[in-house]
């Protein structure tokens, strides 16, 4: 068990906290979604209330080791100041004299945000000297940036070698609770929903959860690959068409059959001639019936109407549901029916533990108004996937044990 922010005595201490403030912005630099800032507020407020000197660091964008004004965290500091109970100061650098002077001026219970750590190449290289410079202004380190916890960077792992204590924040603690602890002995039936583009991206999760799940639901372009592996004609649908992908898909299907684990592929597929908003769409017949195919000049872009109903029934009976990956190209109007159906079914199952495993699924759940009805919405895309695969995340492994 890792040391928690709750285990610290931070009063009067300089607490350096890694947060994930990599927020989306419009062309003018205005923040369009502050949910990542909101997610860090409980940990920040806890330290403020405890009388710590709170020093925040984050990355933003992809400056690739160069100081680029468009990737400055100054707008984030301004937004954070609107959301928290104390003023937020800003330092124009994350190391060196400017950062050190800003920390010296910090009083107990105040907050300082440092400039973008990825303005230095040493961040992503986990350069020991850069990590030492980051930690020079800190007594304690708290990591609350789950979205970068799968990266062994200077600000997520390297700094832990140069501070008195290293602990996880409330956000990471909650992620571990839902993506690890609650899945150890999940309320049954345990249903895993997988979507997105590629079987190869999710193969390790499917293999690991095959031992634990009671049923799988597969959608998105992943389902196209499985149907191809079964010998069906998928027209112009996006799918992984390599021999390796076909072997991978057949292997998963064989394991599910051997384990007697229901593996629900879409009963039908929604397809289109035109890949655009509000395009005309049709559904195939039921896969397995004679003549069912995606026409050669069309592409599958969502699960079909029968599949929506079938999947909703499986979800309604579940005791635990974890969802990672949309059912179709939900970003386009008319191609979002399956993703909405899955999100709605999860939101309506009030008896189940419902977990949305990061990435596009979180975006979709929020977009369609289901986010606040889920028990947990993961803040990590790649980090969520690696945790579900059973991997140790460097940004968590580096923290102190209790």
pLDDT tens profile 284-311: 999 999 999 999 999 999 999 999 999 9
Task: List the one residue out of 12, 95, 96, 16 whose CA is nearest residue 56.
Answer: 16
Q: What is the largest CA-CA distance in the chain?
A: 75
What is the CATH number for 240?
3.40.50.1260
Side-chain-facing half-sphere of 85: CA atoms under 13 Å: 11
> What are the structure tokens assigned to 47, written together?
């330290």
Residues 234 and 374 in one domain: yes
Residues 63 and 198 in one domain: no
pLDDT value for 382: 86
Q: What is the mean pLDDT of residues 263-268?
A: 98
Task: List the one residue out of 211, 193, 213 whose CA is nearest residue 202.
Answer: 193
DSSP letters, 176-188, are: HIIIIIHHHSPPS
Residue ranges in 317-357 assigned as alpha helix (H): 337-348
pLDDT value for 396: 97
pLDDT value for 376: 96
Residues 68 and 156 in one domain: yes
Task: List the one residue out of 294, 381, 285, 274 whose CA is nearest residue 335.
Answer: 274
Q: What is the mean pLDDT of residues 123-142?
A: 97
Quick check: is 179 in a domain? no
pLDDT value for 24: 87
Torsion of CA 326, 331, 337, 339, to 10 degrees: 20
Residues 135 and 189 in one domain: no
Q: Which residues contact 104 (CB under 8 A, 6 or more apart)?
A: none
Quick check: is 176 in a domain? no
Number of domains comprising the chain: 2
Assign 391 to helix, strand or coil.
coil
- Is residue 253 over pLDDT 80? yes
Q: What is the mean pLDDT of the chain?
A: 96
Quick check: is 262 in a domain? yes
Quick check: is 290 in a domain? yes
State the pTM of this model.
Answer: 0.92
Q: Which residue has the tokens 């020991």?
A: 128
Residues 196 and 278 in one domain: yes
Task: Specify whether the backbone of 96 is left (phi greater than 0), alpha (psi in -120 to 50) or beta.
Answer: left
Residues 128 and 261 in one domain: no
Residues 250 and 364 in one domain: yes
Catalytic machinery residues: 36, 198, 359, 382
Quick check: is 41 in a domain? yes
Quick check: is 257 in a domain? yes
Return the number of other C-beta atoms located less than 10 Å from residue 262's C-beta.
14
Residues 50 and 125 in one domain: yes
Question: In this prediction, what percent of the chain has a pLDDT beyond 90?
Answer: 91
> Which residue range(s) make up the domain with 58?
5-171
- Is residue 145 over pLDDT 80? yes
Lowest mean pLDDT among 136-145, 235-244, 357-366: 357-366
- Strand order in 281-283's β-sheet? 281-283, 269-272, 299-303
Question: In this prediction, what percent of the chain has a pLDDT beyond 70?
Answer: 100
Cβ contact 192:215 at 8 Å: yes
Quick check: is 12 in a domain? yes
Residue ending a domain, choose from 117, 140, 171: 171
Residue ending a domain, choose from 127, 146, 171: 171
List pLDDT tens digits, range 186-200.
Answer: 999 999 999 988 999
Residues 90 and 198 in one domain: no
Residues 162 and 274 in one domain: no
Quick check: is 395 in a domain? no
Per-residue buried b or exposed e for 197-219, using 16+ beta carbons within 10 Å of the residue's own CB = bbbeebbebbeebbeebbbbbbb
Residues 120 and 214 in one domain: no
Backbone angles phi, psi at 234, to 5 degrees: -105, 15
Residues 227 and 325 in one domain: yes
Residue ending a domain, choose from 141, 171, 201: 171
């Amino acid at each position: 068990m890792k040391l928690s922010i709750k285990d610290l005595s931070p009063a009067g201490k300089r607490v350096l906290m890694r947060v994930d403030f990599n927020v989306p912005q419009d062309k003018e630099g205005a923040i369009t979604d502050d949910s990542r800032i909101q997610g860090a507020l409980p940990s920040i407020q806890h330290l403020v209330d405890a009388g710590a000197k709170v020093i925040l660091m984050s990355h933003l964008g992809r400056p690739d080791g160069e100081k680029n004004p468009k990737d400055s965290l100054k707008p984030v500091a301004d937004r954070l100041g609107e959301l928290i109970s104390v003023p937020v100061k800003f330092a124009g650098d994350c190391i060196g004299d400017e950062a050190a002077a800003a920390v010296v001026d910090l009083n107990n219970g105040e907050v300082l945000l440092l400039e973008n750590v990825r303005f230095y190449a040493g961040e992503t290289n986990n350069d020991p000297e850069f990590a030492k410079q980051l930690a020079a202004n800190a007594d304690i380190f708290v990591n609350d940036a789950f979205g970068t916890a799968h990266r062994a960077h200077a600000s997520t792992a390297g700094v832990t070698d140069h501070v008195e204590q290293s602990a996880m924040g409330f956000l990471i603690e909650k992620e571990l609770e839902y993506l690890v602890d609650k899945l150890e002995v999940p309320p049954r039936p345990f249903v895993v929903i997988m979507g997105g583009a590629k079987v190869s991206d999710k193969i390790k999760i499917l293999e690991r959860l095959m031992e634990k799940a009671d049923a799988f639901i597969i959608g998105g372009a992943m389902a196209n690959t499985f149907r191809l592996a079964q010998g069906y004609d998928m027209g112009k649908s996006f799918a992984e068409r390599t021999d390796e992908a076909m072997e991978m898909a057949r292997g998963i299907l064989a394991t599910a059959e051997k384990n007697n684990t229901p593996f629900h592929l879409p009963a039908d597929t929604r397809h289109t001639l035109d890949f655009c908003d509000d395009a005309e769409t049709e559904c195939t017949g039921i896969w397995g019936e004679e003549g069912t195919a995606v026409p050669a000049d069309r592409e599958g872009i969502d699960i079909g109407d029968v599949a929506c109903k079938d999947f909703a029934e499986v979800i309604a009976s579940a005791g635990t549901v974890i969802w990672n990956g949309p059912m179709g190209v939900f970003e386009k109007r008319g191609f979002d029916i399956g993703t909405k159906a899955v999100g709605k079914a999860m939101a309506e199952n009030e008896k189940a533990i419902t977990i949305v495993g990061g990435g596009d699924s979180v975006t979709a759940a929020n977009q369609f108004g289901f986010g606040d009805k889920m028990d947990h919405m993961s803040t990590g895309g790649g980090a969520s996937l690696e945790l579900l695969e059973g991997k140790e995340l460097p940004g968590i492994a580096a923290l102190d044990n209790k």
